[in-house]
Structures are given as structure tokens and as C-alpha cells.
Amino acid sequence: MIPSSAPHADVDLSTILNGEIWRYRNGKDRPLLVRWTTDWDCDCETGWWFVVRERPFDLKDLSSSSRRNIRKSLRNCRVERINPGEYAEDLWRVFNEAAERYRNYRITVTKQEFVNRIIDSETEQEYWGGFDNQTGRMIGYAIFQPHQDWVEFLVSKYSTRYLKLRVSDAINAKALDYYLNQLKKRYISDGARSVFHKTSFQEYLRDHFGYRCAFCRLHVLYKKPVKLLIDLLYPLRSVFRRFDDIGAIHQMNSLLYMEEIIREESKRTVAAGSVRLRQF
């Protein structure tokens, strides 16, 4: 479980402290671990961060190559806010075409489940579609969820066979202009550091669109059986990483990596405290 509050907001830990959180049920599933962060946007580099973009969006602030790519993409592609229900077939197609290039990823959702999610999210989430100007074919989409003073960048998918048109540049430029310049939102967040899927998308946002890392401190609390398992497997994490192509091991490696981040941060904190003590 992760908090539903904004990344910059203090997390209400009452249900964790009284143990009520372990009784939460989502259908037949109960939580196995809880993850949250503290010290939002602290002034030191930590092992955990959110990728965010603040300030009004202006092409002049970007590198010359980024400006050139964005202008080219806007000539090649049309971008617009869409009603997802009207484009369900196109969204499903792009979702599948995007998965062709993902490593350690397999589609587990059915078409009907995918469409149902679209219908359920229509009132809260905003869909942006990117279309090839020559054919009119949808070749990419992104989903954002606006909140009171910030925006959550939930997901984006781009058809593998049309990547050369750089529709992602066009969609991101249009969305940044809309949410930061027109709606005056405080920031857009692409979420926390990714440990489950190996992706370069957050680096792409930082390099080409002025996103940055807002460092914070990661906390994870496990249900007792899971904690015992983590402690047992942690010394063997380097061995398990050799078999990361196996789905179940890949998921376990993600948990072990978060645990490694937490333990390394704890060591740095203790070491910093020792230095301050010696200086005193």
C-alpha cells in the first residue's frame, strides 16, 4: 500500500501505528507491505526520489536539440485531450504495440478489463492522444490525474513502430503547457523512482523537459511473514539478480532493492551522525 496523499504532504500514519492497515481488504487481497516517504524535497541526495517538473513551461529553457525535436514532433503529430471511451479500441492497440519493446513485461490484463478501467477512470483522469498527421492513426497516449495544486503523470504508451515520429515529445510539450502554464499547477510528478520496471523514461523527462529529482526518504513496513522472508533473502540478493528475467524473481528483486536503499540510507545517516559527534 502507498499513500493517496500528495508526495509533498505529510502522511497520516495512524492506521500503521494502530495496525488497522493490515486489515484493509481490496477484494480478496490484503496488503503485504506499506511504503511511504518523509522529508520531501530535502536538500541532500538520498536513494529515493520523485521526478517532478515545476515552473512555467517555455521551450526557450530547453536545450537546442530538445527544442528541435519538439517542434519536429508537433509538425508530425496532432495532440489533443480525448474522451477515452470513444477511443477504447485505439488505446488498447497502442497499449499492446508499446509492450513489444518492454523487457520483463507481459500483458496480464484482458481487453475487457482494460476497457472497464478506462470507463471507471473517466471522471478523474485526463487522457491525451497523439495522432500521426499523415494517417490520422493514434500512435501514443498519456494519462494525467489533476489534483488540487499538483498533477500526477500516471502512464504513457507509445506505439513501437512509430517511435521515429517522437509523439512523446509532442504529448509532453502540450501537457506541460496546459497544466503548468494555463492551469498554474504547482508541479507535475511522474511518480517515485522506478524499481520494478527498467525504464529510461524518467531520465528522458529530466534530460528533455526540465524535470528534476525531488529527494526524500523511503520507508517500508512489512507484514511479519514478509519481513522474515526479506531478512532471509537479503544476503542472497546478488544471486537472485542473476535470474531477474524470471517474473517472480524479478518482483522479489524489486522488494530487495527497496530494502537495500533503506539500509544504505540508514548507514549514511548513522555515519553522518558520527561525523557531527566527532566535530562537536
H or E element at residue 263: helix 247-279
pLDDT of residue 198: 65
Q: Which pLDDT does position 197 carry in this prediction?
A: 66
Instruction: Pick the more confident residue, 271 or 68.
Output: 68
User: Grid coordinates standing for 260?
Assistant: 537495500
Q: What is the pLDDT of residues 87-137, one digit of tens each?
A: 999 999 999 999 887 665 566 789 999 999 998 887 889 999 999 999 999
Quick one: how far is CA 115 from the chain centroid? 21
Averaged pLDDT for residues 161-170: 95
| CA–CA dist 58, 136 (Å, integer) | 28
State pLDDT tens for residues 193-219: 988 766 689 999 999 999 999 999 999
CATH topology of domain 55-185: Aminopeptidase (3.40.630)
What is the percentage of the chain residues whose pLDDT exceeds 70?
93
Contact criterion met (CB below 8 Å) for 259 and 234: yes
Residue 280's pLDDT is: 47
- Burial class, 91, CB count within 10 angstroms (exposed 0-12 / middle 13-18 / buried 19+): buried
Give the span between the Cα atoms of 92 and 53, in whole angstroms. 28
Strands, sheet with 33-38, edge to edge from the N-terminal-most edge strand: 33-38, 212-222, 48-53, 187-192, 150-158, 138-146, 126-132, 77-82
Q: Domain locations in the chain?
A: 55-185
- CA atoms of 167 and 72, how far apart (whole Å): 10
- Round to whole Å and give the CA distance between 145 and 161: 27
The model's pTM is 0.87
Average pLDDT, the chain: 91
How far apart, in whole angstroms, are the C-alpha atoms of residue 100 and residue 110? Answer: 16
Question: Per residue in 36-90, pLDDT tens?
Answer: 999 999 989 999 999 999 999 999 999 999 999 999 999 999 999 999 999 999 9
The pLDDT of residue 136:
97
SS3 21: helix
Contact 148, 124 (CB under 8 A): no
- pLDDT-derived band at 268, boundaries 50, 70, 90: confident
- 78: Cα within 13 Å, side-chain hemisphere: 11
For residue 19, pLDDT over 70 is answered with: yes
Element (H, E) at 70: helix 64-76
